[in-house]
Every structure is written in C-alpha cells, then in structure tokens.
Structure 1
Amino acid sequence: MIKGILLDYGGTIDTNGLHWAHVLWEAYQHNQVNVNREAFSQAYKYGERALALKPLVQPHHVFYDVLSLKLKEQFDFLKENGHDIDVTAIDAIARECNQFAHTTVEKAKPVLAALSANYPIVMVSNFYGNIQSVLADFGILHYFRSVVESAVVGVRKPDPQIYQLGVDALGLNAGECVVIGDSYSKDIAPAMHLGCKAIWLNVAGWEDAGGSGQALNEVIEITDFAKTAEVINQFY
C-alpha cells in the first residue's frame, strides 16, 4: 500500500511531461532566434551547468528570474560560438516560458490538492537553492510536507540518495512510497533502485533513453499529470 509520495518538479508539474529543452526550443522558434537544434542543445546544456556551478540564482528568485539567468547564459554561449543573435529576445522568451509554466501549474493544482488530501508529499528536485520561492510564487508550496532540493542537500539526481532523503522525510519505508517524475534516468531508475514504486510521466524527453522492457514492467506510465491520482490506486 502506498503511504507517501515523492514528487519531481521541473518537467513534471510545470510542463506536464515536456522536457524544458522542448519548451525553450519552441520559444526560440517563436521569437526568431536563428540557431539550429544542435547549437541550441549545446547552449541548453551549458546553461544548465552554469546555473548549477555559478552562484547566480538567489534564494528569493522566482521562476521568471531563473529563466532570465539561464537564457542569458545560453545566449552568451551562442554568441561566443559565432552565432549572430539578438539578446533582446531573452526577455520575450523568459516571459513566454514563465507564462507557460504558470498556466500548466494552474492545471496541476487540482491534482496536487487531491493527492495531498490522501498522502503526505515530499518534493524532490534538482534545483538552484530557490525552489521554495518558486513553489510559493506558483501557489503550491503548501501541498508539500517537505522539500528536498539538490543545491541545499548537496546530492543531485540521478543519485538515489536524494530520493532516500525524501523517503526519510516521510518517515516511511521505500516500498511504501511512490516516485512520480518525467525522467526515466533521473526519477524512475533511482526510485526502483531504492525499492520505491514509480509512475513515469512519459511524454517528451530530450535525450532520455528510457529503461529496459523488464524494468518498465514494474512502472506505471502516464501521459498526463492529471491521471496521477487515479493510477496510484493500481498499487493497492
């Protein structure tokens, strides 16, 4: 029987399964940033590493701030690699993606309310030290008993230890917990390593290869976060 939930954030709640690289790539197209997919992919990876390594994100920053900082790093990388791009697109892309996230989170709120009414939930996220400000700005912080954030605890997915910290925060055994996330390698595989159950929001990864057929037999797959509350009952 499931007694607690460990829930991913980015790519799960805020995009309903779309990898953020997809969302940003589409926004690049909408705003006529003329780079190819490979160049964007390299810039995206650079931006992710930059925000993880540099003390750019502050605890009070909301998601719009994170997007702006991340996009500046991406654009700097592209310009340094010879791409002629207009930096004024940064704010337009940040605003577009921030609005997309707010719209998606609004749709997720009834699901979070239903889940939290029946289970304690712990957020487990690779983030930059400001996830609580982001969750508060989106109006969903109160749904979580606790938050385990990589920049705070010093452990990042896919290390299963970050999910073990979530299990410990719930005060349960791993087998009594279900992990819900959009990445097979960062959410589902660590969950199964610990002995947790897993629900994979499998919509559109970027470079996530997924798991073996045998492993997937032990995972419930969904394509809409709204289905989460009903499929948890399949573990009974």
Structure 2
Amino acid sequence: MIEGVLLDYGGTIDTNGLHWGSVLWKSYQKYDVPVDRETFSKAYSYGERALAIHPIIQPGHTFLDTLQLKVEQQFQFLKDNGFKVEDAFIEMIAADCNHFAKTTVAQAAPILKELSELFPLVLVSNFYGNINSVLSDFGIDRYFNAVVESAVVGVRKPNPAIYQLGVDALQLPAEACVVIGDSYSKDIIPAKETGCKTIWLNVQGWEETDTKAPSVADLEINNFTMVIGGINGLNGH
C-alpha cells in the first residue's frame, strides 16, 4: 500500500510533463530568435551547467528571476559562438515561460491539495537552491512536508541517494512510497533502485535516450491530473 508520495518539480508540476528544453525552444521560436534547434540545445546544456556550477541563482530568487538568469546564460553561449541575438529577447522569453509555468502550476495546485490531504508529500528536485522561494511564489509550498533539493543536499538525480533522502524524510519504508516524475532516467530508474513504486508522467522528452526496453515504471500517465487515480490503482482501489 502507498502511504507517502515523492514528487519531482521541474517538468512534472510546472510543465505537466514537458521538458523545459521543449518549453524554452517553443518560446525561442515564438520570438524568432535566429538559432536552430541543435544550437539551442547546446546553449541550453551550457546554461544548465553554468547554473549548477556557479552561484548565479540565489535562495531568494523567484522563478521569473531564475528564467531570466537561465536565458542570459544561453544567450551568452550563443554570442560566444558568433550568433547575433538581441538582449531584449531575454526578458520576453523569461516572461513568456514564467506565465506558462504559473498557469500550469495553478492547474496542478488542486491536485497537490488533494494529494496532501491523503498522503504526506515530499518534493525531490534537481534545483538551484531557491526551490522554496519558487514554491512560495507560486503558492504551493504549504502542500509539502519536506523538500529535498539537490543544491542544498549536495546530491543530484539520477543518483538514487537523493530519493533515499526523500524516503527518509517520509519516515516510511521505500516500498510504501511512490515517486512521480517526468524523467525516466532521472526519476523512474533511481526511484526503482531505491525500492519505491513509480508513476511516470510520460509526455515529451528532450534528449533522453529511447532504449525501446520495457519500462520499469509501475504506471505511466500522460497528465498530472491522473496521479491520484494512479495511486488508487496501485493501492487496488
């Protein structure tokens, strides 16, 4: 029986299964930023590495701040590689993507509220040290009993140790916990290695390898609204 829930944040709660690379690329296209997808993908990866290595994002930064800093890093990569991109696009893309995230989180909030009334919830996220500010800004911080954030605990997915920290926070056996996440490689596989049940929000990846091997997820869904029904199914209800 499932007694506790571990939730991913980015790509799960804030985009309903879309990878953030896909969300940002769509905004680049919307504003006709003159780069191709392959180049954008390199800029995206560069930006993620920069934010992971350097203390660019501070604990008090909102998600809009985060997006602006993220896109600034991407644009720096593009400029360094000879692309002529206008800085005015940075604020436009950040605002566009923040609106998308805010809207998606608002749609997820009733599900989180209902989940929190049924189970203790722990957030397990690869994030930049400001996830609590983001949760507060979006009005969903109250639904989580604890937060395990990679920049704070010093462990990143796909290391199963970060999910073990989540299990420890729930004070439950791993087999009584379910992990819900959008990334097969960063959520589902390490969660299974930890001994948890898993629900894979399988919507749209970005650069993850499609191995064609059978999924080890206990359940696959294609919309965050399906999570409560999914948990009930795992519990035989």
- The alignment's TM-score, normalised by the length of structure 2, stands at 0.97
Question: How is 1:71-82 mapped onto 2 (pairs within 5 angstroms)?
Answer: 71-82=71-82
The answer to whether 1:121 aligns with 2:128 is no
Q: Unaligned 5+ residue runs, structure 1?
A: none
Q: What one-letter code is carried by the residue in structure 1 that aligns with 2:172? A: L
- CA RMSD after TM alignment: 1.0
Question: How is 1:1-236 mapped onto 2 (pairs within 5 angstroms)?
Answer: 1-209=1-209, 213-216=213-216, 218-236=217-235
Please list the CA deviations of residues 21-78 of structure 1 after superposition, one character each: whole Å capped at 9, or x if unmatched. 0000000011110100000000000000000011110100000000000100000000
For residues 223 and 74 of structure 1, the distance between their equivalents in structure 2, rounded to whole angstroms, comes to 29
- How far 1:212 moved relative to its partner? 5.7
- How far 1:219 moved relative to its partner? 2.2
Please list the CA deviations of residues 129-159 of structure 1 after superposition, one character each: whole Å capped at 9, or x if unmatched. 1000000000000000000000000000000
Q: What one-letter code is carried by the residue in structure 2 that aligns with 1:59? A: P
Moved over 2 A (4+): 209-216
Contact 1:184 1:211 in 2 (8 A): no
| SS of equivalent residue, structure 1 residue 234 | helix
| SS of equivalent residue, structure 2 residue 73 | helix
Contact 1:68 1:94 in 2 (8 A): yes
Q: What one-letter code is carried by the residue in structure 1 that aligns with 2:204? A: A
| SS of equivalent residue, structure 1 residue 85 | coil
State the aligned residue count: 235
The percent of aligned pairs where both chains have the same amino acid is: 60
For residues 177 and 210 of structure 1, the distance between their equivalents in structure 2, rounded to whole angstroms, comes to 26
For residues 212 and 230 of structure 2, the distance between their equivalents in structure 1, rounded to whole angstroms, comes to 21
Contact 1:185 1:210 in 2 (8 A): no
For residues 37 and 167 of structure 2, the distance between their equivalents in structure 1, rounded to whole angstroms, comes to 38
For residues 102 and 20 of structure 2, the distance between their equivalents in structure 1, rounded to whole angstroms, comes to 14
Q: Unaligned 5+ residue runs, structure 2?
A: none
| SS of equivalent residue, structure 1 residue 56 | coil
For residues 60 and 224 of structure 1, the distance between their equivalents in structure 2, rounded to whole angstroms, comes to 30
For residues 14 and 172 of structure 2, the distance between their equivalents in structure 1, rounded to whole angstroms, comes to 27
Please list the CA deviations of residues 65-103 of structure 1 after superposition, one character each: whole Å capped at 9, or x if unmatched. 000001000000001001111111000000000000000
- How far 1:195 moved relative to its partner? 1.0
- How far 1:211 moved relative to its partner? 6.0
- How far 1:214 moved relative to its partner? 4.0
| SS of equivalent residue, structure 1 residue 180 | strand
